[in-house]
């Protein structure tokens, strides 16, 4: 399929939030992206023209909705090159996907003394579920430290790997520093000692073409809302053999084959993990977002990000007392701290002064307390880009930031 030429002005016009003469400069896409009109239209079309439950009943509306719902699953399968659509489980997002793994695979296989290796830079969603299941099973969560450059410490990782290691959990790209973790090597080394690898792709799916078969990971998860799709829908990819061996989690309609008070049997994949009425509109809209993204050349998108990041980093480096956290960013996120006259400036103060100028950034710990503790800071200002940002946005941020500093 031929690709559409990357035209930033044409792209911006496809986002109602930006095309409605908004004065807001939106630089918080790592938290959630704005949505293109085609995605919004897909949601509206479902609820106005196709609204029906799926896998239930025999009338034509439910048949149409079921077809669209399962076509969306196949779209995701092809997007990440899963072997089968049975390996695609709909969830409410990346957080629920990790909890599902923890409460099914991990809880049913871990024993006292087993270890779960988790990176120090992980989002809380890739730490807390493992802590919960460790308490339930007697297993132990072991931190894989980061280097001084905010990288996964491979030397420490290899030292920590042992026969006790049963699960390794790592982000593809981190949400604070945009560090691209060496997931290929992380997965390879985990498999060598018989552990499984869980990759949090919430940020990585935005920037790289994912081939889960080539990657070899046991699980790969991501959320729709960071990929220009709605909130409340996400994906858990798991190898079919592992998913089939896992016990069910939520009980209810659809995930059952036959229910009686004597014995209940469960549905085959993927239904066994999809109890109740799913987010049908969200799944269809996620497929729409993927199809919309697929029309562009990924290299052109990444070149656009790189150009904006270079502009941003050059501008930030001119500000006295400002420190970018981690290595020079290579995705679409820059986090920084600021000191004036030797005093730390609170990240919330900077973000508030920017907001008063119509510039939206994120401030805080970004659901990464262990990372902040390791750096000895209580938070950062985070600037994160979307496909729709342009050089004017960066200029306005830099001007706004200098105005904010003048007021501090």
pLDDT band at 84 (very low <50, low <70, confident <90, very high): very high
Q: Which of 377, 343, 303 is nearest to 5 (CA)?
A: 303
Q: Which residues are catalytic?
A: 367
Query: What's the mean pLDDT when you consider all of the chain?
Result: 95
Distance CA 27, CA 315 (A): 15
Q: Is pLDDT at 221 greater than 70 in this prediction?
A: yes
Tens-place pLDDT, residues 234-271: 999 999 999 999 999 999 988 888 988 989 988 999 99
pLDDT reported for residue 256:
86
- Over the stretch 18-31, which tens digit does the pLDDT of each residue have? 876 668 999 999 99
Confidence of residue 76 (pLDDT cuts 50, 70, 90): very high
pLDDT grade, residue 48 (50/70/90)? Answer: very high
d(CA 90, CA 94): 10
Contact (CB, 8 A) for 217 and 82: no
pLDDT band with cut points at 50, 70 and 90 for residue 342: confident
What would the mean pLDDT of 174-188 be, rounded to a whole number?
A: 95
Phi, psi (degrees; rounded to nearest 5) at 191:
-65, -30
Which residues are within 8 A (CB) of 258 and not within 5 positions of it... i.e. 6 or more apart?
A: 264, 265
Give the strand pairing for 219-223 and 234-238.
antiparallel
Domains and CATH numbers, the chain: 8-30+297-407 (3.90.1150.10), 40-294 (3.40.640.10)
pLDDT, tens digit (0-9, with 9 covering 90-100), for 106-125: 999 999 999 999 999 999 99
Q: Looking at 13-27, 90-104, 238-252, 345-359, which range is the least confident one? A: 13-27
Between CA 120 and CA 393 the distance in angstroms is 32
**Cis amide bond preceding 270, omega within 30:** yes
DSSP 85-135: GGGEEEESSHHHHHHHHIIIIIHHH--TT-EEEEETT--GGGTHHHHHHHH
pLDDT digits (tens, 9 = 90+) for 273-284: 999 999 999 999
């Amino acid at each position: 399929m031929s690709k559409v030429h990357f035209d930033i002005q044409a792209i911006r016009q496809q986002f109602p939030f930006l095309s409605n003469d908004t004065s807001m400069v939106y630089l918080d896409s790592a938290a959630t992206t704005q949505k293109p009109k085609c995605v919004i239209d897909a949601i509206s079309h479902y609820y106005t023209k196709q609204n029906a439950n799926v896998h239930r009943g025999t009338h034509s509306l439910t048949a149409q909705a079921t077809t669209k719902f399962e076509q969306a699953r196949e779209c995701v399968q092809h997007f990440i090159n899963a072997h089968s659509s049975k390996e695609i489980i709909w969830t409410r997002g990346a957080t629920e996907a990790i909890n599902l793994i923890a409460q099914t695979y991990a809880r049913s296989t871990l024993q006292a003394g087993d270890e779960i290796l988790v990176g120090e830079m992980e989002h809380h969603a890739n730490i807390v579920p493992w802590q919960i299941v460790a308490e339930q099973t007697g297993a132990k969560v072991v931190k894989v430290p980061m280097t001084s450059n905010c990288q996964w410490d491979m030397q420490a990782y290899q030292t920590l790997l042992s026969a006790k290691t049963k699960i390794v959990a790592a982000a593809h790209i981190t949400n604070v520093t945009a560090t691209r973790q060496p997931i290929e090597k992380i997965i390879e080394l985990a498999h060598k000692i018989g552990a499984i690898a869980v990759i949090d792709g919430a940020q990585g799916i935005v920037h790289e073409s994912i081939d889960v078969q080539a990657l070899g990971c046991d699980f790969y998860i991501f959320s729709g809302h960071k990929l220009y799709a709605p909130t409340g829908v996400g994906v858990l990819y798991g190898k079919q053999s592992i998913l089939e061996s896992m016990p069910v989690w939520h009980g209810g309609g659809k995930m059952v084959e036959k229910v009686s008070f004597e014995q209940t049997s469960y549905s085959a994949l993927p239904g066994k993990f999809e109890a109740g009425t799913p987010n049908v509109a969200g799944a269809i809209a996620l497929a729409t977002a993927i199809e919309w993204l697929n029309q562009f050349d990924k290299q052109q998108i990444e070149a656009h990000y790189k150009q904006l990041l270079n502009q941003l980093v050059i501008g930030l480096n001119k500000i006295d007392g400002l420190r970018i956290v981690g290595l020079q960013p290579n995705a679409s996120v820059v986090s920084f701290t600021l000191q004036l006259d030797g005093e730390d400036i609170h990240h919330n103060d900077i973000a508030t002064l920017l907001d008063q100028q119509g510039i939206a950034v994120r401030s805080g710990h970004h659901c990464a307390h262990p990372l902040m503790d390791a750096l000895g800071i209580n938070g950062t200002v985070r600037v994160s880009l979307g496909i729709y940002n342009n050089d004017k946005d960066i200029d306005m941020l830099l001007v706004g930031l200098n105005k904010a500093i003048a007021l501090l």
